[in-house]
Structure 1
């Protein structure tokens, strides 16, 4: 069994909660209140800014040029490619992007990004990589699910652009590259290391669930 398969098997009960979350259900149906989506986008924009810094830590801790390039390309993926749909929606909502990146982070956003950055700063390169993986991989998992489950409701759906981002060929490629890289660097790890990495992966998966909870809360 590849290490990624082991991680997925252990995290799947948590990830399946994402699929049944009211935020995802209403987004797929096109009934999600736009104010909730707007608040979510702002927090996710703030999240991606801090998330990108974890990849920056990876660049510093990398020992080969190939690893440096891999983490460097991931910075671009998070800061440019993934934020593209966020920027489109936020501009549509009339949000000033230069002000948005300095808005207040919700507690979940703060705790999650602080945890990943702490793992990166205190741990090794493998731990840094594992801390970033649940976000990338689970969004692909959710994007594919929504695209299939609600395929008959997406044509005129306000949230189609978001779904298309996480169900795109480019995002699939980015995700697969990370899964392959994870399998490569975790090929010969010890049982003790395996358990430590699983703990990081599950903690970040739980933070993802809390992020969806936060996104759906009543907007004041």
Structure 2
């Protein structure tokens, strides 16, 4: 078993939990609330902007030109390609995507997830740490989408079917390249460093679960006392 396969196997129980949580189950049945859908879009717009920035931070760490090219292409995909999936959810709620994301949100769970990736990018010289922190994002979407398309509960009359169809194939190349990079960049790692990289991957898988859930409940910062009261 390769190291990337080991990471995926270790994350399976977390992904099973993500699939059974309210956000994905309501996506399946086409009953996701408008509030949850909008919150997800707003939070994911902020997340993807930072995801692109982290790709840029990896460029100086890459020794091969083709790896640099891959990173540049992924930044371009975030800017242009993945908006297609967001627009499917916007169609579901019957509003323009650009209008929805004019309102910004920065919830605690999203903040923690983004900072987890930045921590690995800034503190670890080996890019494998950062890639392991990023890799669960496309992998979770790929697995969930592929499972959903086989699920008898899937509401085929809902526009959200297109969201699952998009992620069931669009993540394939990215997941494969992340796997290759992780396996190549960890060849000479110590057992201690492999544990750290595995932790980064599993922590991000948990962050993926919390990201969906924060949209489902419209998570907010709670500072307590008068600080949290609106004027």
TM-score, normalised by the number of residues in structure 1:
0.89
8 Å Cα contact 1:120/1:128 also seen in 2:
yes
Deviations 1:189-210 (A, max 9, x none): 2211110101111111111111
Whole-angstrom distance in 1 between the partners of 2:171 and 2:10? 23
Give the deviation of 1:95 after TM superposition: 4.6
Distance 1:86 1:181, change over 3 A: same
**Is residue 181 of structure 2 the alignment partner of residue 145 of structure 1?**
no
Which residue of structure 1 lines up, in the alignment, with residue 7 of structure 2? Answer: 7
Q: 3-state SS of the aligned residue for 2:157?
A: coil
Distance 1:101 1:174, change over 3 A: farther
Unaligned residue ranges in structure 2 (runs of 5+): 221-231
Deviations 1:142-196 (A, max 9, x none): 111111114x73431131221121112x322222222222222223322111101
Which residue of structure 1 lines up, in the alignment, with residue 38 of structure 2? Answer: 38
Which residue of structure 1 lines up, in the alignment, with residue 216 of structure 2? Answer: 216
8 Å Cα contact 2:141/2:171 also seen in 1:
no
Which residue of structure 2 lines up, in the alignment, with residue 136 of structure 1? Answer: 138
Give the deviation of 1:4 after TM superposition: 1.1
Distance 1:153 1:196, change over 3 A: closer
- Structure 1 or 2: more helix by fraction: 1
Whole-angstrom distance in 2 between the partners of 1:12 and 1:153? 21
Give the deviation of 1:65 after TM superposition: 1.1
Give the deviation of 1:26 after TM superposition: 1.4
Residues paired across the two proteins, number: 217
Whole-angstrom distance in 2 between the partners of 1:126 and 1:219? 31
Whole-angstrom distance in 1 between the partners of 2:72 and 2:159? 32
Whole-angstrom distance in 2 between the partners of 1:70 and 1:218? 34
Whole-angstrom distance in 2 between the partners of 1:102 and 1:65? 38
Distance 1:122 1:106, change over 3 A: same
Larger radius of gyration: 2
Which residue of structure 1 lines up, in the alignment, with residue 17 of structure 2? Answer: 17
Whole-angstrom distance in 1 between the partners of 2:103 and 2:31? 29
Give the deviation of 1:61 after TM superposition: 2.0
Q: 3-state SS of the aligned residue for 1:199?
A: helix
Whole-angstrom distance in 1 between the partners of 2:53 and 2:119? 11
Unaligned residue ranges in structure 1 (runs of 5+): none
Which residue of structure 2 lines up, in the alignment, with residue 57 of structure 1? Answer: 57
Which one of 73, 94, 97 corresponds to residue 96 of structure 2? Answer: 94
Give the deviation of 1:219 after TM superposition: 8.4
Which residue of structure 1 lines up, in the alignment, with residue 229 of structure 2? Answer: none
